[in-house]
Structure 1
Amino acid sequence: MTSLGTPAATATDLQDERLATPQGITDNVRAAIRRVRDGDLGSLPVIGGIVVIWTIFQSLNATFLSSTNLVNLSFDMVPVGVLALGIVCVLMVGQIDLSVGSVSGVSAAITAVVMVKHEQPMVLAVLAAVAAGCLIGWVYGQVFNRVGVPSFVVTLGGLLAFLGVQLWLLRGQNAINLPYDSTLVRFAQLWFVPHWLAYALAVAAAGGFLATGWVRARTRRRAELSSSSLQWLVTQSLLLLAALLFAVSYLNRTRGVAWMFVFFVALVLVMNYVFTRTKFGRSLCAVGGNAEASRRAGIDVRGVYTAAFVLCSGLAATGGILAASRLAAANQSTGTGDVNLNAIAAAVIGGTSLFGGRGSTFAALLGVLVIQSISSGLTLLNLDSSYRFVITGAVLLIAVGLDSVARRSRQAHGRG
């Protein structure tokens, strides 16, 4: 048995550099360069895009990167970000859901009707809305699996049908206002993490990253596989800690870190664990890569499809609740307009492949950051919303183009 910092001479995956895990700092840098050269770009394009977008808007308006505006940005990106997280689930299996906006609108209407009109507890209203979203996803899965209707058509029908259900629930009312003193509204507008706790969460996140990496490295060592060195894990953790502490310190100059944003990040991390460390997550990637091969390997392909639709609709319902809470009202326009397109665009811009089998929950976080940054920057410049549609569409086209080119490059270099 070798120590964590010493490479295992008998590591079986070292016979193929595509399978081996880089160990030291130099190895990781070389591996990153090799992956980019082979077409595995990862999050590099979207991170570069964020830097460019932020640089341009900051040069045009010095308020853009102010602590106040970034706090507002962290609030505004959450509802659409949760919807985008659901879109990642269905894109992973090579399908699509065009109704996430309508489902979010229905869930917002259910929440308002149960809380305000029927005067039921908030918890019951939230559970009813999320349950309705999950039921919608289950229906999509059954129609897709048993009838064979393409997901595009199933969810397009859902988009129209549930928009009608939303209007019926509101029964001609333009809006149903949520109580301003309710927990939902305070959570989405007024609740911030205490400054000391925000710093503690940053330290805990970096420590958790180090602990997780160390456990994974030890497990691979015991299986006689290559693994990252302790030096590299510590370096990564320190860089992450420095970035988180700086972000927290900057946001704390004004109101601080919003609890709603913390909720979104926690949801991203939980879903990332599900995607990367569970059998279900591996099944999602396998089905998206090749459904027939997955079926022959013993994976319940129909069950995976249904679960993906349920997750997507359930997260859409959650996003609708957050959107209504943010506005302190559920109205006829909740979930309409460009909500659908923004959610799908965020997932794709963030790096989730339209071809299935490749994606990450962090794609939702990065993608919605791009979209909301564009929206926030144009608002500060007092420009018409038409510019936002044009710019967002151009960014989406570039993202899909890069994904297509990178996919061909990966196949040419044997990386799938």
Structure 2
Amino acid sequence: MVKGMRNMADDTQPEPAAPTARTSRPHGGQAVTRAVRGWGAAVRRKVRAGELGSFPVVLVLVTVWIIFQALNENFLSPRNLSNLSVDIVGTGLIAVGIVFVLLLGELDLSVGSISGLAAAVFAVLNVNNGVPEWLALIVAVLAGTAAGTVQGYSFARTRVPAFVVTLAGLLTWNGFMLSILGTSGTINLDENGLVAKLTSYYFTHDGVAYGVAAGAAGVVFLVSHQDRRRRKAVGMPHRSLRGIAARSGALAVLAFAAAYVLNRFQGLPLALLLFLVLVAGLDVVLRRTHYGRQVYALGGGVEAARRASLSVTRVRTAVLAVSGTMAAIGGLFLASRITSVSQNSGSGILLLNAIAAAVIGGASLFGGRGSPWNAVLGILIIQSIASGMSITDTPTAVQFIITGGVLFAAVVIDSLSRRSHEAHGRA
């Protein structure tokens, strides 16, 4: 959450010059006052410019938690929060792939079918044909990658809108899934197998969760400090050490609080750990690699990207391949959660939830703006609403209405933010 909020609280101003003989260093109270005033001014500038960041999303999430906790005191119980942390993983991984496609200003409608296809490939190979789990797992993920690559290449070469290409893919991959499963309909997975343990295994030792929390805060501090040194060396605006320490400290508080809650039930879920590691890794790919910069550039404008000698075909193909890969991995986690694969795998509202999670979390429908962490925030909101509705025995129809309302609000905020960017000449 703290990472998602950094656009609102980023302190990117250069550090003030060291005191000279004519100036005296402000004492503690004055320094804190100046820091707060500077932070407030930065926030006001960002709001006026339409750079709301993830602040509205976090505010919605906190509001949802407060409301459902008031309705039922068990909502924020360790058991419910632990179950919530596992329930977000499957759809959340698919939503991460959607974020990549949204960065291009496009939409992938095939992710639900690809997730079902990957789960079916794994189940048939492992359960029906005795292929070792690790090999069946790799083949299933590669099936998703291949499906995404085919769609991406078709989209890039024909220049047909991605949502049309992937709509055809939705039907095609669903047909392949039904053909692979055959008349059996449902295949039950080994409850003690590798895939089943993806969502059923917990690190029960308290030190594991606390160690992960400390490690996450430490990595964020070191990366931010290194980024500051690099920017300072070339004279670019950079965060102050005080700002970096405050951000890392806030993350540490949240991480240790989450570890404490999870340890009160069964410990740190393996599924949640793998989810966060994948999200963090893909965030690094987008923000700190040449490929990631190409994705953002292409989302900012296709013609400008071509003039900058970017390979539009290669980037588009790679982005849809990533989406297909994440859909396959998400499908395996969803199959793990229920330890079975059926003809209904990947169907229902899975596609809508994945797209809604990416958009609600803050990824722009207009392209060029978004992060894998947006998918985490978005799926947290959607799954929190679902969990709250379930624990309070609220009809499913109300859940759809509320989720739809939140999605509409997110789209409106995205549109207003883009208009503000255009007004400031940054769209």
TMscore range, shorter length: over 0.9
Residue by residue over 1:251-309, the C-alpha shift from the partner in whole angstroms, topping out at 9 and shown as x without a partner, is 21111221100111111111111111111111111101101101101111111110100
Return the alpha-carbon distance in structure 1 between the equivalents of residues 244 and 36 of structure 2: 9
Secondary structure in structure 2 of the residue aligned to 1:392: helix
**Structure 1 residue aligned with 2:3:** none
Q: Is residue 2:336 matched to residue 1:321?
A: no
**Structure 1 residue aligned with 2:420:** 409
**Structure 2 residue aligned with 1:39:** 50
**Structure 1 residue aligned with 2:6:** none
| 8 Å Cα contact 2:153-2:316 kept in structure 1 | no
| 8 Å Cα contact 1:57-1:377 kept in structure 2 | yes
Q: Residue 190 of structure 1 aligns to which amino acid in structure 2?
A: Y
| 8 Å Cα contact 1:101-1:336 kept in structure 2 | yes
Q: Kindly state the Cα deviation for residue 5 of structure 1 after the two structures are TM-superposed.
A: 8.7
Return the alpha-carbon distance in structure 2 between the equivalents of residues 7 and 216 of structure 1: 18
| 8 Å Cα contact 1:97-1:155 kept in structure 2 | yes
Report matched runs for 1:295-306 at 5 Å: 295-306=306-317
Q: Kindly state the Cα deviation for residue 206 of structure 1 after the two structures are TM-superposed.
A: 0.6
Q: Kindly state the Cα deviation for residue 191 of structure 1 after the two structures are TM-superposed.
A: 2.8
**Structure 1 residue aligned with 2:183:** 172
Identity rate, percent: 43
**Structure 2 residue aligned with 1:189:** 200
Secondary structure in structure 2 of the residue aligned to 1:172: helix
Q: Residue 219 of structure 1 aligns to which amino acid in structure 2?
A: R
Return the alpha-carbon distance in structure 2 between the equivalents of residues 103 and 82 of structure 1: 13
1:152–1:5 distance in 2 versus 1, CA, 3 Å = closer
Q: Is residue 2:223 matched to residue 1:212?
A: yes
1:287–1:258 distance in 2 versus 1, CA, 3 Å = same
| 8 Å Cα contact 2:156-2:312 kept in structure 1 | no
**Structure 2 residue aligned with 1:145:** 156
Secondary structure in structure 1 of the residue aligned to 2:410: helix
Secondary structure in structure 2 of the residue aligned to 1:235: helix
Structure 1 runs not aligned, ≥5 long: 10-22
Return the alpha-carbon distance in structure 2 between the equivalents of residues 200 and 246 of structure 1: 13
Moved more, 326-335 or 310-319: 326-335
| 8 Å Cα contact 1:24-1:228 kept in structure 2 | no
Report matched runs for 1:149-164 at 5 Å: 149-164=160-175
1:227–1:193 distance in 2 versus 1, CA, 3 Å = farther
1:381–1:353 distance in 2 versus 1, CA, 3 Å = same
1:219–1:24 distance in 2 versus 1, CA, 3 Å = farther
Return the alpha-carbon distance in structure 1 between the equivalents of residues 324 and 366 of structure 2: 20
Q: Kindly state the Cα deviation for residue 187 of structure 1 after the two structures are TM-superposed.
A: 2.4
Q: Residue 139 of structure 1 aligns to which amino acid in structure 2?
A: V
Return the alpha-carbon distance in structure 1 between the equivalents of residues 55 and 80 of structure 2: 25
**Structure 1 residue aligned with 2:29:** none
Report matched runs for 1:6-405 at 5 Å: 6-7=15-16, 26-192=37-203, 194-405=205-416
Return the alpha-carbon distance in structure 2 between the equivalents of residues 26 and 222 of structure 1: 26
Residue by residue over 1:78-133, the C-alpha shift from the partner in whole angstroms, topping out at 9 and shown as x without a partner, is 00000000000100011110010000000000011111011111111111111111
CA RMSD of aligned residues (A): 1.7
Return the alpha-carbon distance in structure 1 between the equivalents of residues 320 and 262 of structure 2: 36
Secondary structure in structure 1 of the residue aligned to 2:232: helix
Q: Kindly state the Cα deviation for residue 320 of structure 1 after the two structures are TM-superposed.
A: 0.5
| 8 Å Cα contact 2:202-2:267 kept in structure 1 | no
Return the alpha-carbon distance in structure 1 between the equivalents of residues 222 and 112 of structure 2: 38
1:291–1:259 distance in 2 versus 1, CA, 3 Å = same
Secondary structure in structure 1 of the residue aligned to 2:341: strand
| 8 Å Cα contact 1:220-1:226 kept in structure 2 | yes
Return the alpha-carbon distance in structure 1 between the equivalents of residues 223 and 167 of structure 2: 41
| Misfit runs of 4+, over 6 Å | none
| 8 Å Cα contact 1:286-1:294 kept in structure 2 | yes
**Structure 2 residue aligned with 1:15:** none
Structure 1-normalised TM-score?
0.93
Moved more, 386-395 or 397-406: 386-395
Secondary structure in structure 1 of the residue aligned to 2:127: helix
Return the alpha-carbon distance in structure 1 between the equivalents of residues 14 and 300 of structure 2: 35
Return the alpha-carbon distance in structure 2 between the equivalents of residues 217 and 146 of structure 1: 41
Return the alpha-carbon distance in structure 1 between the equivalents of residues 372 and 338 of structure 2: 26
Q: Residue 151 of structure 1 aligns to which amino acid in structure 2?
A: A
Secondary structure in structure 1 of the residue aligned to 2:268: coil
Residue by residue over 1:7-38, the C-alpha shift from the partner in whole angstroms, topping out at 9 and shown as x without a partner, is 479xxxxxxxxxxxxx9665344212210222
Q: Residue 104 of structure 2 aligns to which amino acid in structure 1?
A: V
| 8 Å Cα contact 1:7-1:227 kept in structure 2 | no
Structure 2-normalised TM-score?
0.91
Q: Kindly state the Cα deviation for residue 166 of structure 1 after the two structures are TM-superposed.
A: 1.1
Moved more, 396-405 or 180-189: 180-189
Q: Kindly state the Cα deviation for residue 415 of structure 1 after the two structures are TM-superposed.
A: 3.4
Return the alpha-carbon distance in structure 1 between the equivalents of residues 393 and 200 of structure 2: 24
Q: Kindly state the Cα deviation for residue 177 of structure 1 after the two structures are TM-superposed.
A: 0.7
| 8 Å Cα contact 1:94-1:356 kept in structure 2 | yes
